[in-house]
Amino acid sequence: MSLIKKSSPVLREVLMQFSVEQDIPDRRLLDFYVEKYPQFEHQLKSLASQLMDDSLSTDACEDEKNNIDSHDIEEAALAVSLFQTRFFEETGRIFGQSEEDATTIENRLGSLAKQAYRNLASKLCINTLVLNQLRDREIDAKTIPQRFVQRFACEMHSSVEAILRFLNLPPVISPMASFKANDKPRSETKESFEQALKNSGMSEEQIRSLLD
């Protein structure tokens, strides 16, 4: 467990450090921080009551809430907000959101109606040709800007991690494709994001806005 390396720790720093120690703090962590920073006991318990998944009993939480003032609650709420923002920036997931696998993304894309599919392409500022390539995993995920991946994840109500796991799978091979026994194996080399945008007929201005 890490400590705030200051002789006179700032409340906000202590709350922030507490909130990132574990995804969901437990009683042991709370007791550790209360012992180290007894002057912030009420604020720590208020923050814990929001982060812990029923680890504190309802009665205990109510007792603590009755003993803290509005300023303490505001400080705790700010720490929670900062933690949730940092968690999303680092993981691409909303705190408490369950993990998704690549199959979920594939099924979600495949189940979209035509108009919803076109709307998704429009929201991503691409055309359906590029979206088809993303769906079929024909674009090298390493060449896709992080900002676009984050937008894609947001529109899919998913996480950046799940989107990347999906995009990094081998490309989809069309069921219409047939190969002779003596044909050489087809290369699975994927196209770069920039090249896919150019080949789809998008304008230079549109491409720049997606790559910048």
* pTM tops 0.75, yes or no: no
164: left (phi over 0), alpha (psi -120 to 50) or beta: alpha
In a shared domain, residues 109 and 142: yes
pLDDT of residue 89: 58
pLDDT of residue 12: 75
Q: Is residue 183 part of a domain?
A: no
CB 189 within 8 A of CB 170: no
DSSP-based three-state secondary structure for 191: strand
Q: Is residue 63 part of a domain?
A: yes
Q: Is residue 2 part of a domain?
A: no
In a shared domain, residues 17 and 115: no
In a shared domain, residues 49 and 80: yes
Q: Is residue 70 part of a domain?
A: yes
The residue out of 69, 91, 113 marking a domain boundary is: 91
pLDDT of residue 105: 87
Q: Provide the CA 49 distance to its chain's centre, in angstroms.
A: 24
Range of the domain at 34: 11-91
Virtual torsion, Cα 5, 8, 13, 14, nearest 10 deg: 90
Spans in the chain with pLDDT lower than 70: 1-9, 23, 52-101, 173-188
Burial call 121-158: b when 16+ CB within 10 Å, e when fewer = beebebbeebbbbbbebbbbbeebeeebbbbbbeebeb
CB 132 within 8 A of CB 174: no
Q: Is residue 51 part of a domain?
A: yes
Q: Is residue 179 part of a domain?
A: no
DSSP-based three-state secondary structure for 30: helix
Residue 144 is encoded by which pair of tokens? 């896709």
In a shared domain, residues 130 and 37: no
In a shared domain, residues 107 and 206: yes
Q: Provide the CA 7 distance to its chain's centre, in angstroms.
A: 35
How many structural domains comprise the chain?
2
23-80 pLDDT, tens per residue? 677 788 888 888 888 888 888 887 777 775 444 444 444 555 455 455 555 666 666 6
CA distance 159 to 98: 9
In a shared domain, residues 77 and 108: no
In a shared domain, residues 109 and 73: no
pLDDT of residue 90: 56
